Structure formats: C-alpha cells, structure tokens
Chain A
Amino acid sequence: MKDSLTTVVRSLIFVAFALILCALVFQFAGYNALTMLWAVADGAFLRSGAIEQSLRWALPLFITAVGVGISFRAGFFNIGAQGQFYVGAICAAFAAEAFKGGPAFLVIPALLISGMLGGALWALWPGLLRLRSGTDEVITTLMGNFMAGLLLVYVTSGPLKDPSGSGQQASSRPLDAAYRISDSLGLSPTIIAIAAAVGILMWLLVNRTAFGVLASLAGRNGTMVEWQGARLWKLGLSSFLISGALAGLAGTIEFMGPNGRIASGFLPAHGFTAILIALVANLSVLGTAAAAVFFGGLASAALYLPIMAGLPAAAIDIINAAIALFITARSKLVDRVLRFGGRPS
C-alpha cells in the first residue's frame, strides 16, 4: 500500500517539476506563465464541457497505454504503439469495406476484432524476431511505426481512397453511419463501456492471475523465471500481442468513433503519449487511468488554446516533453525529496 502511494506521489512530483520547467520556458518566450498554465487548466478541465472533451481523448489513450504497460511489465519495450494503432485502424477500415451492408450488431464487433487482430499482427513480427533471434524490439517496433505510417498513406490514397476528398489530406471513404460508435465529439456509452471492459480485464490479468505475477517476474529477471520452469517466450509473446491488440483497438475506436474514417498521418502522437502515460503511471492499470485523464486533458487543451486563448498549441507539446524528460531521467532529485524525513524501506 505504502509502495503504491509512494508511486503516486512520485509521479505527481514529476509532473509538478515539469510544469515549473514549462512555466520558466513560457516566461522566457515572452508569455505570462501563470496565464498560460491557467489557460491549460481551463481548457483541459475547468470550463464547461471540458471534462467530456478530455475524456474523448483520454479513453483511447488509456486503452493503448494499458497495453504498453503490460508489455513493459513483461520486460518488452514495445514502443510501436503508434504503428499498431495505425495498422489496427487500417484493418478495421478494410473490414468495414468487406462487411458493408451487414447488420450493425454483427459488423461492429467484427470491426473491433479486426482492429485488435491488426494491432496484434503488428506486434507479432517484432515479438517473434526478438524471441527467435534476439533482435532488439525497440529498434524493430520503432521501424514498424514508420512502416505503418507509410502503409496508412498508401491505403488512404490507394485502395481505400475517398474519391470525393478535397485532396489536402488523403483519407478513406467514410464509415457508414450505422457502424459508427460515436458522433464526432467522440464520447459515447459504447466507447466508455469498451474502455471500462479493457480496464477491468487488464486489471484482473495484471493483479489477479498467475500470468500477471509471472510476467512481472519475467520482466524483472527472466533467468529466474526460466529456472522455475516457465517458458519465457509464452509470457513475453502474449504480453507483446496484448499490447499490440489494445493499440489496434484504440485505432479502431478512433476510426469508428470520432473520426469516422482514417486519414494519412492522423493522431501522430497517440502512441508516444500512451507510452508517456504508462511510464507516469509506473505501469499500474489504475495509475494509467488517472494519467490518461490528465494527458487527455492536455490533448483537449491543445485544441482550445489557439482558438479561445490565442496561445500556441505547441505549449502542450512542451509540457509533454518536459514530463517525458523527468520521467525518463528517473530523477534522483525526486527520490531525494521522497526520502526526506524518512528512510526508504
């Protein structure tokens, strides 16, 4: 209990440090830092309707980030969430073409499943390469992101091209309204239900199954688990596939929900924000939910800032980058602050 509390406090301190750093940057850039931070808070959570907007961004991010957390726990640094997110959306879009005209209660689940399979497929080959020949999954999944991005350009300007498109950004033909799971605002009972189901299932998997315990042991010390008789590849590959499937599911939700189509280069930062969320949450499922709401809020504020407050949307990128900086540096400073007044157990 104390452990998880420490984790929460640590993450909050990371974020606080990052915000202070950003305030300094804004101040130097000639903005009023306090106004800027206030506008971010306002855009994310305070103004009316802000919470709904933040959740619209938070839920898909949560789904992807939970998956990232599961692969990280098992010791696989799957940083290919972005590519898996794209491939999931692409597979769902192809499935939508194939199943066109079918009854919605069959087609909608079929599309969701196709998206998950697509995402899992995009995690399968780096996983196999790692387990078969030891190829570093950080490199392969990173390359996979670029490949998926190019694949998206191809399908949206080739096989799935919307002939009526204006041409500025290639995109697919829109999904039939019957199969949409939300309007363009992007928050609907279906999406909330999917995110909740993912959250509960993954929490159970991580905290209440033998798999969860063993995968976590394997992630920290694979050799030890091998000497216990576990088959590492089984634990590792399934974690990898789950993370891919969830990223694919998030891509499918964006396709079937708020976007209604896929466009080349859409949501280019989704996967990386999800990794950041998983790290801020220290890979816990509940922590991921909280962090996703926070980063969802930032994403929503990014749209609000230029329109409502006349401030650059890039402010949000700076905040994200600052948080990433502190999280990845595993700041000793924060550990010292936490130790203050008592020894760590």
Chain B
Amino acid sequence: MSNPPKPALECRDVTVKFGDVTALSDVAVSFAPGQIHAVVGQNGAGKTTFARVAAGLVQPTAGAVDVMGEEIRTGHVSQSRAAGVELVHQSFALPPSFTVAETMEFGATGKGGIYSRKSLAEKWQSHLAGLDVQVDLNRRIRDLPIETQQGIEIARALVMDARVLILDEPTAVLSPSSIDMLFARVRRLKERGVTVILILHKIREVLGIADTVTVLRGGRKVEGPLPIAEVSAERLANLIVGDAIAKTLDRHERDALVGTKSPVGEGAGHLENAKGPSVLSMKAVSTRPDSEGTALDSVDLDIRPGEIVGIAGVEGNGQKTLVRAISALADLASGSIRLAGNDVTGEPLAARRAIGLRIIPFERNVEGLSLTSSLWQNWSARELLQGRLLRLIRPSAVREACDRSLKDWSVHYHNSAQKAGSLSGGNAQKVILAREVDREARLIIAAQPTRGLDIGATAFVWQALRQARDRGAAILLISSDLDELFDISDRVVVMLSGQVNGEFRAPFDIASVGAAMTDAAARTSA
C-alpha cells in the first residue's frame, strides 16, 4: 500500500490536429483522484478540446488516455463513459420539451419504453435531491432557469456512477450567486469521492474552488497541475496571458482579462464627458412575444454621447430582443424609440442606420458576416445599402477602400477577395469593427463583442470601443462577462425577464449587480 494512488485521469502526450490546425500539442497531464482540478487558459488554448478528448468525443492524433490507471480506447464516448468519465458541455443541450423526469430517464439511460410520469418522478426524486437539485420533476426543461438546468445536467452525468466529472466552462452562463451555489455542489461531489475537472477562465474562480490548477496556452500545457497553495494570482495571470502579450497590457487591463479579482470598474468614470441629449432614448418599450427570445417588458433606456452603457444579465433575459428592438428587427407592442433626436419607432433598420446606428451583432458568423462571401463584399455591405440599389459601382475602388480600412484595423488577411470564413475569430471581428465603427457612428451596439476571442483580440476590441466612446459615440455593450462589463462600462444596467432590473454606476459592486441579475429575493430555488 506504499504506492501513491493511481491518477484518476491521465493524458500521455496527447496531440490533436484538425486539418492544419493543431488544437493540442503533446499535452501530458495527470490528475490525482478525489480532488477538484482547474484547467485554465484563454480562448483557443485547447481547454475544450482537452475535455472532449477525455470524454471520447475527439480522437487524438497521437497519445493515450488512462482512467484510474487503465488505458482506454480513445475517440469512443462509450469507452470513456464505461471508465467513468462524464462531460457536461459548455452549452448544455437538454431537450426543451421534456420534463425533468423524462430527461433523467432517457437522457441518462438512452432507453425507450412505456412509462408513467408519476413513477418516473418518484424514481428520480431522491437522486436529484441528493445533489441539491430542488425542482418539480414534472416541469419542462424550457421553463427552468439556467442554473437549474445545469444542476440537472450534472445529475444526469452522475447517474452512471461517474468517477471523473468534467465541467466545461460551467460558470460562463451563471450569475455570481449561482456560481457560488455551483461551487458548493462541486465541493459536495468531492466529498463523495468524485474527481472534478473544471474548465475555467477566471483566476478568482480558480483560486476560490480548485485544489490544483493546470494552465494551457496555444494548445500546449504551460504548467500544472500545480497545488493551488503554491501559485499566486499574479503568476497565474502571466502564465495564462504569456509573457509576450503580458508586456503589452497594462496591469489593470490584464486583471480584467483574466478575472484576477472581483471587478469594480474604473471608478473614475467618464460620466462627466457624457453630455448632451440622449443618442438613444427608449420609452416603455414592450415587444410582441416571438420565438427568438424573451420579450421586452416596458423597458426605459437612455444613452448619451460619450458613454458606454453595459447590459448585464443572465443570458436569455431579453438582451437579444433589446438589440433586435433597437435594430427594427423585433415587433414593438408599445413604447417609442428615439435615435439622435429622431423618432424612429416605426422606421426600418436602413433609416436607423442612416442616422448613425451601428451593430456588432451577437452571432458573428451568421448575423455579422457572410462566411462564403469575399471580405470586400462583407466590408462594403453597409455603405452599399446607403444609396440606390442600381447605382453603378467600381469594384476595384471599393476593394481599395476596403484594403485601406482593414489595414487601419490591423486585420491579418491575404487579399480582399478571400472568403470571410477563412479568417480567425479575432480577425473576423475586426472586419466587423472596420465596417461598423466609422466616423458617422452615433450609437454602436456591441453584442458579446469578445466572445470566443483570445486575450489580444479582446483587448483590441475594448480599445476600439473606448476610442469610439472618446470620439463621442454612445455605446451599448451587452456581455455575459461581468469583468468585461465592469472594466469598460461607465454605467451598468441589469436585465431580468425582459425588464430593466437596476442601474449601477462605477465603482461597481459585484454582489449587488449579481443580486439584480437573479432578483435573489424572488428566486431562491435552484
């Protein structure tokens, strides 16, 4: 019995290539059993690929995976599951029309058959209660708050007696208080002997929960697993960012990018600069319900020139509809919208854009760019729509203008005829910035503008928004990342169930903003 315990999960020199792209490169890491391990890194570092290899969803190009000292066949979900490895995905995919009990029964076992709802509910009641998921088992998934859905997803993963549970970015969709509840749940799993691997990207979360931390960068393991007591936040931040980029960032910016401590905002605030009449003024705006998201319920919102207003909220509380309402893409039931002094309530998007509305939309690859079209066509779409459709253009002149603009925005590309889909996420977002952030921009809507971007690209986007603000544009920033919101917003407005549920000014208090995000008084179950 003198042998050290076998690692719960061990990757031996795992390499994963997708075509020309190397997602993981010779990653060797071993996780001790019964602990909480954090795996951190910026976007594109290979965290999710690592999780998918362990779960058998990705076949590594080279290398082996051991579970409890036994090598498993890689690339087969069934093999990983049989060995006791379960993965909870970043965007979990529970069937929305199923009840909780049905989800547990069929999601966990994959078997069909005749059943009664009542017996199913009884069968799963105790399992869920044992994991602190308090929920009526006859409710449908789509009616449940996101944190409860996550609890069910975890419970489902544990049905098969999982010994290693991997949670891929479980905090990304949660409010601060739900994160605390998730961490409490994770600690209880540890007490039950489950090895938990958390993919995270905020240092303060790592320091708050993990026993060890492993850092990935650019598909390689930089360090780890390091016992948490032996690393400082400072060192961890530099490991994640990398020395080269760390030098180019100021300390404050870096801390916001890696979430070192609880964010409070710049404090100084630029609100003195925000003068003059509102650029955007929404009065009691309600939208008709549609299939695309929570409808707005009597929303009032004012943004003046020279300020960045951040919209905080758990995803799915009407942020999408807010953007669509301002963009004339959602039907208003009542209320009015004024843009730069003009009543645009009944005006189409083209008219609103002519006044100076610019949009960096949520879905970069769907709403923002046509991936199979050329860069210059994507770039020129906004300007081409400003005039008559049948006017003659000179493509060579448009392409030259496009080249100049993309160079200004330091987009890396070969030539403007290449397809937008061939660019990396950061470069693609820069093309959208080049199109949307121009001198005539009065109101810029930036919806999740840094989602999926690495740290360098994220800092670039923040800088671009700040510069536009300093030029006098009004900016509406929607983000589910509180660090981002607090770092660059002058004001933060919280949305809950399609309503404005509080407004905050720097310095921001994460606890009170977090409370407004979930309306803690009204919703205690989770």
Contact = CB atoms under 8 A, between A and B. Distances in A.
Interface in A217-244: 217, 220-221, 223-231, 234-235
Given A210-B385, A345-B414, A224 B393 contact: no
Contacts of B391: 209-210
Contact of B389 (A208, A209, A217, A220): A209
Contacts of A223: 363, 366-367
A323 B502 CA distance: 64
Given A217-B381, A345-B414, A230 B393 contact: no
Contact of B377 (A3, A205, A216, A230): A216
A150 interface: no
Given A210-B393, A229-B352, A230-B385, A3 B367 contact: no
A334 interface: no
B235 interface: no
A213 interface: yes
A169 interface: no
A221 B329 contact: no
Contacts of A31: none
Nearest to B435: A228
B367 A213 contact: no
Say which size band chain A's interface belongs to: 20 to 34
A216 B353 CA distance: 21
B371 interface: yes
B59 interface: no
Contacts of B390: 205, 209-211
Contacts of B393: 208-210, 213
Contacts of B382: 228-229
A190 interface: no
A214 B381 contact: yes
B377 A231 contact: no
A213 B384 contact: yes
Interface string A313-325: 0000000000000
B218 interface: no
B372 interface: yes
Given A3-B417, A210-B388, A211-B389, A230 B350 contact: yes
B373 A217 contact: yes
A335 to B, nearest CB: 14
A313 B335 CA distance: 69
B389 A229 contact: no
Say which size band chain B's interface belongs to: 35 or more
A227 B348 contact: no
A135 interface: no
A204 B350 contact: no
A226 B394 CA distance: 23
A227 B380 contact: no
Interface string B350-391: 101100000101010011111111000110111011011111
Interface in A260-312: none
- The winner among A210, A214, A345 for most chain B CB atoms within 10 A is A210
A227 B373 contact: no
Contacts of A345: 414, 418, 422
A306 B380 CA distance: 54
Contacts of A204: 392
Interface in A314-345: 345
A35 interface: no
Given A214-B384, A214-B389, A229 B367 contact: no
B327 interface: yes
Contact of A210 (B359, B372, B384): B384
Contacts of A224: 366-370, 378, 381
B68 interface: no
B449 to A, nearest CB: 14
A207 interface: yes
A213 B380 contact: yes
A237 to B, nearest CB: 12
A50 to B, nearest CB: 37
Contacts of A235: 389
A191 B369 CA distance: 42
A183 to B, nearest CB: 37
Given A213-B377, A228-B381, A229-B349, A221 B389 contact: no
Given A209-B391, A214-B384, A220-B370, 19 more contacts: A204-B392, A208-B394, A210-B387, A210-B391, A217-B370, A217-B381, A221-B366, A221-B369, A221-B371, A223-B363, A224-B367, A224-B368, A224-B369, A224-B381, A229-B349, A229-B350, A231-B348, A234-B389, A345-B414
29 contacts: A3-B417, A205-B390, A208-B392, A208-B394, A208-B395, A209-B392, A209-B393, A210-B385, A213-B377, A213-B381, A213-B384, A214-B381, A216-B373, A217-B378, A221-B371, A223-B366, A223-B367, A224-B367, A224-B369, A227-B329, A228-B381, A228-B382, A229-B349, A229-B350, A229-B385, A230-B381, A235-B389, A345-B418, A345-B422
Interface of B: 327, 329, 348-350, 352-353, 359, 361, 363, 366-373, 377-378, 380-382, 384-385, 387-395, 414, 417-418, 422
